Every structure is written in C-alpha cells, then in structure tokens.
Amino acid sequence: MEQINIGLVGFGTVGQALYEVVSSARNAHAAVKRICVRSLDKPRKVQVPAELLTTDAADIVNDPDISLVVEVIDDPEAAYRITCDALRAGKDVVSGNKAMIARHLPELIELQQTTGRALLYDASSCGSIPVIRNLEEYYDNDLLLEVKGILNGSSNYILSRVFDHGEEYADALVRAQKLGFAESDPTHDISGNDSLNKLVIITLHAIGVYVPPKDIFVYGIPTLRAEDIRYAREKGMKIKLVAQVVKLSDAKFTMFVMPEFVAPNRYIYAVDDEYNGVVIRGECYDRQFMFGKGAGGRPTASSLLSDITALRHNYRYEYKKSGFSPRPEYTADVTLKIYARYEHTDLRAGLPWIAVNEEYRCDDYRYAIGEIRLSDLIEAAPLLRADDIFLCNFPRFFADRDD
Ligand code: HSE
C-alpha cells in the first residue's frame, strides 16, 4: 500500500503525540514528512530529526510529496489560512482546531466542494470520542431530538477535583494545564467557549444547521464558589458544564452552554476528570451515551489517526443533513429554570424573571431560583459578566422521559 506523507502543522502536546502514534501505527501506512513549528530550538519531549522541522507552513503546503496536512495549532486564524491554502493546493486536511472550524464552517464546506479535497475534524470535538462521524453517518435520519453533554475535559477535570476531592479551584486548573488538557489560554476552557465551539460543530452534523458561536448563550465556571457547591451537594447533585442542542419541534431547536445541576441517575453524573460524555436522544431509541477521554495528547492523537486512515478510504463528510427539507430553525425563545447566586450585582432585580420560585439571603450572598427566557439571558450578557455571580441550569427538556 502506498504511504501517505503527512505535513504536520503544530508540535505541541497533540502534535507530538500524533507523531509518536503515527510512527508506531502498524496499519496507517503514513509517515510525518515535515513539521511546522513556531520555534526550532524549543526543548520538546519528543525528539525528531532536525531536517523535519520548518518554521514556514509554505514548506508543507507547497511540497508536492505531501498529500495530507494535519493541523493542530492553537491560533484559529492562522489555522484557517493554512487549511485554506492546503485545500487549494490539492491536499486533504485533518484538523483538531475547534475554534477555527466553528467560526469558519460555511466557508470550509464551500472550499471542500470547490477544491474537491476533504477536511476531517473528529478530533476537534470530544477528543477520542468519535462523535462527529457517528452523527454524520449513523444518525443520518430525522429521529434525533437532542445532543447533550460534557464537551470540555479541562473544566470537567476542575469540577471533579473541586467537587469530589475538595481541592482548590486554582490548583486543579494548574494541573489541568500541566497534564496537557487545557488550551494554551485556559480561559477558553472555563468560560465555556471551547464547549460552545464544539457544540456548533456537533449541531451542524446532528441537525444540519450552522449557528455562529456569537449567537449562542454561553456561561462558564470561573465564578463558581463554595456556596454553589454546597447548594448542589445539599440537593444530592453535582455541577457539570453542559452543552446542549435540543429539538423543540420539527420547526425549532435551541442550544446553549451552561453549568447544570446533574442528578445521580443521569449518565453524565459519573463522567469525571478529563473524560467527556455525550448523550444522544432520539425518537425511537430514547437515549444513547458515548463516553471517553476528551482531552490530552494521546486520546486526541487517536482521533486524528482515525481521520488519517479514513481519508485513505476516501471518506469525507457529505453534510447530508444540510440538504434536509425543512430544517429546523434556531431559537432562543425558550424558558429555562435557573439558579442565580449573587452578592453585590442584584440579579433578583436586574434580570427579567418570568417567575421566581425560591429566594435565599444571608450576610455573604443571595440566590434566586426561577424561570427566565434564554433570549433574555443573551440580552443580559453585560450584567452576567460580573464576577460576584454564578448561574446554573436545572435540566427541563425531556425530564419526563428520563425515569
Ligand atoms: N482544552 C480542551 C479540553 C482540549 O479541555 O477539552 C480538547 O479539545
């Protein structure tokens, strides 16, 4: 079998793991021929022959012996330029760059069509879990109702350590970085934006609709405090950072990323540390669950390798669901039930609640629990940036089907 020559762009945690995995794979028939790095002299765990390294991505894009570019850098706009150049140069691309893909999906789909080349990116969402290819191929019918889960390993690692092991938030964050789970800027992990990017990609493959990240409500865990953990524990629940896309009817769907109270009878309750878990719900099969390592060099490299070998069999995403008619439309006109804890920023008075069911106040903090429109939370974004508040969702969709 003819060998695939790979040009690897990015040689951080994931790039180095991929180099090792490809070098030891018995059936990939692939070899890394060139590696584009930011600095030639940087000390690295994985040693490679010096002639493989370059600092110019053009050395890869313009090399006629390289048929496949694997892109694993952390700058989404640089990644976008390299991906477009590689597709235009007649090369296939495998990418793990969720921010680039979520931002530029429509253009990237069009470019695949005009160039005839393929871009695969299962590694962009949920690390080692093959969620994109399954949504694309197996769930290619009208039955899908909801995709919901933990899509970010670092924030889940932090929540597990703080919640289950009583560790300090800041210590857990530093360890998530040391273990190679976190983004180079870990605010993307804890703000929920990394989960949001993955949700945008998952939604396109789940129901065939692209919604730009800027239109979607996202709330993360940077302001989580001991009192929120205490509240959850008293109710016998955990707090998880959950991303969800939910079909409300044949005509409408909603999506958002938010911390959520998770009861012990939920699949994602047991998803701890850097693991991710995705619940897929459909008309005929109720719930299915995919679980696996969502971050880290080797788990992500396994997913990249799987896309590399899929390209050998001429696999490409067909984006079949984008042609479904009619397709549901995104709406934020939906009612959520949330917990809003605050100190100085008065969320009781400042948010347009539909109803407040419960209120609590003590010297240090207050909270309100009640119903609110998702669209009003989007409108309230400036207020919700305050660092003395925390929001957490109570799951409502399909609650009657979860016994
Ligand atoms: N920083 C990401 C995470 C890496 O923690 O999930 C995998 O996408």
Is 198 labeled as catalytic in the residue annotation?
A: yes
Give yes or no for residue 246 having a pLDDT over 80.
yes
According to the model, what pLDDT value does residue 224 have?
Answer: 98
Measured in angstroms, how far is the CA atom of residue 153 from the centroid of ligand 1? 5
- Domain at 4-120, CATH homologous superfamily: NAD(P)-binding Rossmann-like Domain (3.40.50.720)
Tell me how crowded residue 168 is: count the other CB atoms within 10 A of its CB: 11
Q: Which residue minimizes the CA distance to atom 1 of ligand 1?
A: 182
According to the model, what pLDDT value does residue 403 have?
Answer: 57
The rounded percent of the chain whose pLDDT value lies above 70 is 100
User: Cα(22)–Cα(238) distance, rounded to whole angstroms?
Assistant: 38
Cβ of 194 below 6 Å from ligand 1: yes
Tell me how crowded residue 95 is: count the other CB atoms within 10 A of its CB: 28
Closest by CA to 61, choosing from 21, 88, 79, is: 88
pLDDT tens for each residue of 43-81: 899 999 999 999 999 999 999 999 999 999 999 999 999
What mean pLDDT is predicted for residues 92-99? 98
pLDDT tens for each residue of 267-282: 999 999 999 999 999 9
What mean pLDDT is predicted for residues 155-166? 96
Distances (CA, A) of 193 to 60, 123, 197: 30, 17, 6
Query: Which mutation among 152, 188, 199 tests ligand 1's pocket best, with the greatest number of atoms within 8 A of CB?
Result: 152
Cβ of 60 below 6 Å from ligand 1: no
What mean pLDDT is predicted for residues 79-99? 98
* Mean pLDDT across the chain: 96
pLDDT tens for each residue of 287-315: 999 999 999 999 999 999 999 999 999 99
Cβ of 180 below 6 Å from ligand 1: no
Give yes or no for residue 398 having a pLDDT over 70.
yes
Nearest atom in ligand 1 to the alpha carbon of residue 182 is 1
Cβ of 303 below 6 Å from ligand 1: no
What mean pLDDT is predicted for residues 162-179? 95
DSSP string covering 287-298, please?
Answer: EEEEEEE-SSHH
Q: What is the pTM of this model?
A: 0.97
pLDDT tens for each residue of 3-24: 999 999 999 999 999 999 999 9
Give the max Cα distance, the chain. Answer: 71
Query: Which mutation among 181, 184, 197, 302 tests ligand 1's pocket best, with the greatest number of atoms within 8 A of CB?
Result: 181
- Domain at 132-293+326-401, CATH homologous superfamily: Dihydrodipicolinate Reductase; domain 2 (3.30.360.10)
Nearest atom in ligand 1 to the alpha carbon of residue 195 is 6
Domain ranges (residues) in the chain: 4-120, 132-293+326-401
pLDDT tens for each residue of 350-395: 999 999 999 999 999 999 999 999 999 999 999 999 999 999 999 9
Give yes or no for residue 344 having a pLDDT over 80.
yes
According to the model, what pLDDT value does residue 59 have?
Answer: 98
Nearest atom in ligand 1 to the alpha carbon of residue 152 is 6
According to the model, what pLDDT value does residue 96 have?
Answer: 96
Q: Which residue minimizes the CA distance to atom 7 of ligand 1?
A: 295
What mean pLDDT is predicted for residues 228-252? 97
User: Cα(139)–Cα(324) distance, rounded to whole angstroms?
Assistant: 13
pLDDT tens for each residue of 122-132: 999 999 999 99
The DSSP 8-state label assigned to residue 109 in this structure reads H
According to the model, what pLDDT value does residue 151 have?
Answer: 98
Query: Which mutation among 194, 200, 303 tests ligand 1's pocket best, with the greatest number of atoms within 8 A of CB?
Result: 194
User: Cα(135)–Cα(137) distance, rounded to whole angstroms?
Assistant: 6
Half-sphere exposure for 175 (CA within 13 Å, toward CB): 16
Give yes or no for residue 400 having a pLDDT over 80.
no
